DNA sequence: AATGATAAAATTGTCGACAATACTTTGAGC
DNA sequence: GCTCAAAGTATTGTCGACAATTTTATCATT
């Protein structure tokens, strides 16, 4: 599927498969955030040796999905609001820059491809029930393509390889299906226009605003949840 | 020393020590860039088992200092100019943002501390022979403190934990002691001022220009080297 | 009862050996 | 002489066992 990590091909080694499996489990919350990871237990569960499991754990650590302490063990990261805001700051900086670079480096073909994708999303959105789809897959697809369009391996690696799993984790666990669908779509459209005009400065500006808006939206939601739970 | 990774304490496990040792060896070029890493050979050299070595290799991979392919093995990264420019793009984005956040989040004490450091550097620079010192340690110290001042764990982790080893590697292997010492110092000073004024927008702008200037300087140098080798 | 030291259990770190995969060398066929 | 196939060699991936460390449980002391 389109959301898979473009950094790696197909999983070949068993550690790869276990990594993929655990990745989904953590992102979806089947392995609870903040919970301790018992190597003997998980190794038995996946029917592999501890060496192989530890290899998988190392990769999860690279995605910032687990944290390890020497001689103590691994824990799944906590999903705190502070940490989410920190991630948004990093995204604002990196995706903004990726967008600028995309305006400079994307091929004409890639831009055409992207416009086609947005048209698809527009259609799906017309059939109202597509909103949920757009929220999840569509939005991520858009951001992925911009990042890949930067043609900057470092950017791609950090954003697609590491950070996006965390972003997805927060989306799923905090249940973020915000009412920003149509608005976000407009923003996406304008970003593409800027890229199409090869206007890097504007593209960066728009992407940064797009992300800040999304972040503010989350803050608002969280504030609402807080007042609700008070009542 | 000040340049050590603020992310981790002291190395406790043997894998930690081997990681540190290999980190320095790679950064300094004692293990050549682009060279293949033989697990049996290195394990024998460090007098450890392959498991422990592989643990160290995993951490080096986290710093983007080596790359692994399944069933093939590890290589030290190549030091290409393209890759260096890519890193500068990431730095511009992330350190710019870190600087903005530092302006918002640094404590007054931290700012005082930083000004004191700059004064130290100014003195060292007066004693002309301190220039070389300033280039290496001083410059990195400055950038480190700004990054830490952001109080953003994600930023700190990516920049100090991963990217800076690469930056150091390029500095040493490309032999970058540029004639930007006094100029870079002025720029550092103005950045501190912006942070001190709590002007996040200006602080980000200045840091980005500072990094872009440094990048241009490198490009110029490389162009010069190219014409020299032609003659 | 609470605190602190000590012993037991469990977990992580490290090791050496085997299995699976990739690379090299050899030789056969054209 | 060159190309391709096959066997052999070397390297990486995986496994189970042991050592070192941490955590838990036990018990004596105040």
For the cut 70, the answer to whether the pLDDT of residue B217 exceeds it is yes
Q: How confident is the model at residue B133 (pLDDT cuts 50, 70, 90)?
A: low
Q: Which residues touch strand C (CB under 7 A)?
A: A 12, 36-41, 50-51, 54, 68, 70-74; B 13-15, 48-52, 55, 70-72
For the cut 60, the answer to whether the pLDDT of residue A86 exceeds it is yes
Task: Name the minimum distance, in Å, from the CA of B90 to any CA of chain A.
Answer: 7
Q: How confident is the model at residue B119 (pLDDT cuts 50, 70, 90)?
A: confident
Tell me the C-alpha distance between A93 and A88, whole Å. Answer: 9
Segment A111-150, tens digit of pLDDT: 999 999 988 877 766 655 545 555 667 788 899 999 999 9
For the cut 90, the answer to whether the pLDDT of residue A66 exceeds it is yes
Strands (E), chain A: 36-37, 66-69, 73-76
> What ranges do the domains of chain B cover?
14-76, 81-230
Count of pairs with CB atoms under 8 A, one residue in A, one in B: 70
Q: What are the Cα distances from residue A55, in Å, to A188, A205, B56?
A: 38, 40, 12
Q: How confident is the model at residue B174 (pLDDT cuts 50, 70, 90)?
A: confident
Six token digits for residue A114: 């992207």
Q: How confident is the model at residue B128 (pLDDT cuts 50, 70, 90)?
A: low
Q: Please state the ipTM of this predicted complex.
A: 0.89
Segment B13-43, tens digit of pLDDT: 999 999 999 999 999 999 999 999 999 999 9
Q: What are phi and psi of A68, to 5 degrees?
A: -120, 140
Segment B58-109, tens digit of pLDDT: 999 999 999 999 999 999 999 999 999 999 999 999 999 999 999 999 999 9
For testing contact with chain A, the best of B11, B83, B86 (most A CBs within 10 A): B86
For the cut 80, the answer to whether the pLDDT of residue A21 exceeds it is yes
Q: What are phi and psi of B99, to 5 degrees?
A: -65, -40
Interatomic distance B69 CA / C24 C1' (Å): 20
Packing angle, helices A164-173 and A139-149, rounded to 10 = 170
Tell me the C-alpha distance between B121 and B50, whole Å. Answer: 44
Q: Is residue A74 a contact partner of residue A36, using CB atoms and an 8 Å limit?
A: yes
For the cut 60, the answer to whether the pLDDT of residue A70 exceeds it is yes
Angle at B44 between CA B41 and CA B49, to 5 degrees: 110
- Paired residues of A74 in beta bridges: A37, A68
In the block, tokens 């340049």 appear at B3
- Paired residues of A67 in beta bridges: A75
Q: Is residue A195 a contact partner of residue A111, using CB atoms and an 8 Å limit?
A: yes
Segment B184-208, tens digit of pLDDT: 778 999 999 999 999 999 999 999 9
The hierarchical CATH code for the domain B81-230 is: 1.20.120.530
Would you call A138 exposed, middle or buried from its count of C-beta atoms within 10 A (0-12, 13-18, 19+)?
buried
Say how many CA atoms lie within 13 Å of B79 toward its Cβ.
19
Average pLDDT over residues A151-179: 88
| Of A104-108, A219-223, B69-73, B152-156, minimum mean pLDDT range | A219-223
Interatomic distance A54 CA / C6 C1' (Å): 33
pLDDT at B141: 87
pLDDT at B138: 78
pLDDT at B221: 82
- State which fold the A14-76 domain adopts: Arc Repressor Mutant, subunit A (1.10.10)
Tell me the C-alpha distance between A91 and A137, whole Å. Answer: 18
Tell me the C-alpha distance between B193 and B8, whole Å. Answer: 30
For the cut 70, the answer to whether the pLDDT of residue B6 exceeds it is no
Q: What are the Cα distances from residue B132, in Å, to B61, B118, B138, B175, B177?
A: 30, 15, 9, 12, 7
Q: Is residue B53 a contact partner of residue B42, using CB atoms and an 8 Å limit?
A: yes
């Amino acid at each position: 599927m389109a959301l898979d990590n473009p950094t790696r091909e197909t999983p070949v080694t068993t550690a790869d498969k276990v990594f993929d499996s655990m990745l989904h489990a953590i992102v979806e919350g089947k392995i609870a955030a903040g919970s301790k990871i018992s190597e003997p237990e998980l190794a038995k569960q996946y029917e592999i040796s501890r060496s192989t499991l530890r290899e998988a754990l190392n990769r999860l650590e690279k995605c910032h999905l687990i944290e390890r302490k020497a001689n103590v063990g691994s824990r799944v990261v906590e999903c705190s609001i502070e940490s989410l805001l920190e991630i948004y700051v990093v995204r604002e900086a990196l995706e903004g820059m990726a967008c600028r670079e995309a305006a400079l480096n994307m091929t004409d073909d890639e831009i055409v491809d992207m416009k086609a994708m947005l048209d698809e999303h527009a259609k799906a959105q017309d059939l109202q029930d597509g909103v949920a789809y757009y929220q999840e897959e569509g939005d991520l697809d858009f951001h992925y393509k911009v990042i890949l369009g930067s043609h900057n391996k470092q950017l791609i690696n950090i954003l697609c390889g590491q950070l996006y799993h965390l972003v997805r984790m927060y989306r799923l666990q905090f249940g973020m299906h915000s009412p920003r669908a149509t608005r976000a779509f407009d923003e996406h459209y304008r970003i593409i226009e800027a890229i199409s005009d090869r206007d890097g400065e504007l593209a960066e500006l728009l992407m940064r605003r797009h992300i800040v808006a999304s972040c503010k939206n989350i803050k608002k939601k969280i504030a609402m949840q807080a007042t609700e739970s008070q009542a």
